[in-house]
Structures are given as C-alpha cells and as structure tokens.
Amino acid sequence: MAAPSGSGVISAVGEAGGEALHFRRVGPVLESLAAVPISTVDTLDAWVRADYADGRSRTDSLRIPVRAGEYAHERLTVAPRFGSPLNEEDQARLRSDREKAARAAREAHAAPRMWSAVRLPRESRVTSGFGTGREFNGQITSRHMGLDLAGARGATVTAAADGVVAVVDGFLLGGNVVYLNHGGGLQTGYFHLSEPLVSVGDTVAAGTPIGRVGATGRVTGPHLHWVVRYGATSVDPLSLLALPGIRSIPE
C-alpha cells in the first residue's frame, strides 16, 4: 500500500484488515506492507492518515477490491491424538501456544523493520501450498496456513530474512518451532523442527542456520512448515517472495 509523498506528505499511519500499517519512504512515495486475511470476501477495509509538512493531516477510508483465492483439498492421516477432538489438557496447551504466537505478532508490529530481502528457508520442493483445505483422519477439517518444503530429517533450515529470534519452543501442533521477528509487522515461523539452532534474543541474518528439519508435532513425515505472518495474519509465503525488489535468491 502506498501514500503519495511528492505533495509534502512527511509521514503516514493506517490500518488494513485489522493490522497496523508501517510506512517507509521508497522513492517518491511512502509504502507499507498490507496483509489480506484468507477469509476476506470481495473487499479489504483500510484507512490511511497522511501528515503534511505544513501541519495538515488527511484521513482516507478505503475499500480495496479482493479477488478470492483458489485452493486445493487434501486428506491426511496422522497420529490418532491429532485426528480427533482435543482433550482439555491439549486444548489448554493449544491456547498457550496461540498466545505465544500472538505475543510475537505484537512484538513484530512494535519493532522497526530490520529486513530488506527475503529468501526461501530451504531451496527444495513445495509439497503443500498455502490455503489448502485439510481433512485429518476423516474428522478434522482445517486450512493449511503455511508452505511445506520437502527435507530429510536433520536437513538445515535457514532464516528467511534478517531479524531477531522471538520464540523457541515446543508447540502441540507445530512441534519444535522457531519464530523470527523481522520488524515492521513481519514475522516468520519454522515448524516441526528436529532441533532449533538458535535461542530467544539472537540476531540473525538471512541465510543463518536456525534449525533442522524434523517430524515433531502434527505431521505425516519430516518436512519444514514455513509460516509468514503480517502481525497475526498468515499470508502465502510465495506472495511475499513475489513482491518486486525484495527477494534475494541464494547462490
């Protein structure tokens, strides 16, 4: 999302889809990432307030047209514990995991942008795309909110962009996870690891090894589940990589 700066605009703030916007100057305009929740139908509500050098401010409400995505459907078999409704203990653990992820989202909004390029955490085959509908053991239907990348157990997983390690933990569904805070609202998550290679608070550069591929949590086999979120809104990682001017391809 862009706000014009050629007519004296010095700063801008706003919100889109319930997430704060973080504008920065790029040539003649101010730009911010904006995330479209997968549940959005037809339009995304947003607002932007521009502040001018002469002291004026202007606020615009926007309704941005959105085209519905097209997603596949999968039927998977997992351990019985994960293929039936969760018991009270697992429900409590899942709530705790979600709060840790939500706290990381808040921290990503609070931190300044630290990254300028994004890369795949593994240069490997995509085994399941973002948004795919999933049925587990014929009972639980959910949507796949990340990108699965093939990998043998123990293969290296690297940071997708510069940032700070926000979470290293064992989650019920995600298994061993690492979350990175990239600032400006952006965070990435790396799930099902056999082991993490970083600690909370570590500063990492794009390409830094942060973990190893595993099969922990709710899985059908070893792989990396890579999550990209703007705030708390999960987006297709490939859409981030497709943005002009920010992808860095490993040699």
Given this model, what pLDDT does residue 72 score?
65
Residue showing tokens 């700070």: 164
192: left (phi over 0), alpha (psi -120 to 50) or beta: left
pLDDT one-digit tens code per residue, 93-136:
999 999 999 999 999 999 999 998 999 999 999 998 888 775 55
Given this model, what pLDDT does residue 251 score?
35
Given this model, what pLDDT does residue 143 score?
76
pLDDT one-digit tens code per residue, 226-243:
999 999 999 999 999 988
Given this model, what pLDDT does residue 128 score?
87
pLDDT one-digit tens code per residue, 19-55:
999 999 888 889 999 999 988 889 999 999 999 999 9
Instruction: Evaluate whether 224 touches 212 at the Cβ level (below 8 Å).
Output: no
Over residues 72-96, the mean pLDDT reads: 74
Query: In the β-sheet with 43-52, what is the strand arrangement from edge to edge?
Result: 19-22, 9-16, 43-52, 57-65
Given this model, what pLDDT does residue 68 score?
76
Q: Which residues pair with 241 in a beta bridge?
A: none
pLDDT category at 137 given cuts 50, 70, 90 is low
Both tokens of 101, joined, read 């992820």
* pLDDT exceeds 80 at position 249: no
Given this model, what pLDDT does residue 1 score?
64
* pLDDT exceeds 70 at position 74: no
Given this model, what pLDDT does residue 39 score?
85
Given this model, what pLDDT does residue 217 score?
94
Instruction: Evaluate whether 180 touches 188 at the Cβ level (below 8 Å).
Output: yes
